[in-house]
Amino acid sequence: MHVETVLVTESWLRREGLPDSWDADRPMLRAWFLCVPLPSCVSVRLGSVQASLVEELESRGFDQAPVEVPGSPLGWRLVATSKLRALLDRGDALSDDASHFLQDDILELACADSSNTVDLGSILRLMRQRRAAVLYDERATGSVTQRRIFGLLTRSDFNRRAVRVAIFDRLASLERSMASIVTRHYPDDPNWLALLAKRRRMELEVYASHSKTSGDDLELIEAVTLADLLSIYGKSDEIRVKLGLASKSAFKKSYGKLAGIRNRVMHPVRPLVSRERGLGDVADSVDAIDDLTRRTDQAERLQA
């Protein structure tokens, strides 16, 4: 079997007629929107460790670097900057010895379809225990298998705009479904308003008054936030039963942080992933969004 390896670059994307920027193809999350192409990385070579390269990696805050390793399954591995510093200090060379590289530093991507759409939840779970990885996929075309190396993926790459958009798209779908459930279950506004705090009820009532005065005459449900909907869901025994969640504590434990992730998504100066908030926090939030969406959609179908 012949294997052809391709490094994904902007020029390759243009030749293939594929979008090379997030704005060209929103809100799809594409593999190349997550990674730094390997030719754009500060990379190192096997052999003598260059002090200037180690210093550049350290000064720029890069925790690892790609290195071409002929004979390895993908042809590329990742070496930690700290390992390079240790080798340099000892006067040792970087070799193809497995101990010189990060564990689990190669990640094969299973794209959802031929358009290379990445499932955010899946890749978050795969990266949860990894510091970084070289992301690639394989596609069989006749007798040729094309291996495409998308680039270097690190945890900090999940702060990218494309990831925020993918999460917001999920949240927008969830909010629409939750609002639909509330209005169907409580056709009279006062019934679900009573589940909100007094101050919030007053704010919504003022909104309704202004809406009528301005001539917009919008429905009250159009003024609620995700935090409101979560509060209504959490306090409504009937809705929770429809979702298969009997207790308030179970609901709060599973979905109580979703309003927080929405705020972080909407404010790009707030990192989604940091040393304080690891990748697991984002992965748990995305799983919770997907789970509540599934439960809500199922309850909505039963009510239809």
Using one digit for the tens of pLDDT, what is the confidence trace for 115-167? 567 888 889 999 988 999 999 988 887 888 888 899 999 999 999 998 998 99
CA distance 76 to 39: 12
Residues 73 and 15 grouped into a single domain: yes
The answer to whether the CB of 106 falls within 8 A of the CB of 73 is yes
Residues 10 and 103 grouped into a single domain: yes
The CATH number of the domain holding residue 53 is 3.10.580.10
Residues 198 and 278 grouped into a single domain: yes
CA distance 55 to 61: 10
Residue that is last in its domain, among 155, 181, 215:
155
The answer to whether the CB of 128 falls within 8 A of the CB of 280 is yes
Residues 142 and 7 grouped into a single domain: yes
Quick one: pLDDT at residue 145? 86
- The whole-model pTM stands at 0.81
The answer to whether the CB of 107 falls within 8 A of the CB of 130 is yes
The answer to whether the CB of 34 falls within 8 A of the CB of 160 is yes
Residues 16 and 102 grouped into a single domain: yes
Per DSSP (E only), the strands in 43-88 are 64-68, 76-80
Residue that is last in its domain, among 155, 188, 220:
155
Number of domains forming the structure of the chain: 2
Residues 83 and 140 grouped into a single domain: yes
Quick one: pLDDT at residue 136? 92
For the ranges 91-105, 152-166, 178-192, 209-223, the lowest mean pLDDT is seen at 209-223
Per residue in 169-183, is it b (16+ CB within 10 Å) or e — as a string? bbbeebbebbbbbbe
% the chain with pLDDT above 70: 92
Angle among Cα 79, 13, 63 to the nearest 5 degrees reads 20
285 is in which domain, residue-wise?
Answer: 163-303
Residue that is last in its domain, among 97, 131, 155:
155
Strand partners, 196: none
Residues 6 and 151 grouped into a single domain: yes
Residues 13 and 49 grouped into a single domain: yes
Residues 139 and 172 grouped into a single domain: no
Residues 171 and 78 grouped into a single domain: no
Residues 51 and 191 grouped into a single domain: no
Residues 188 and 142 grouped into a single domain: no
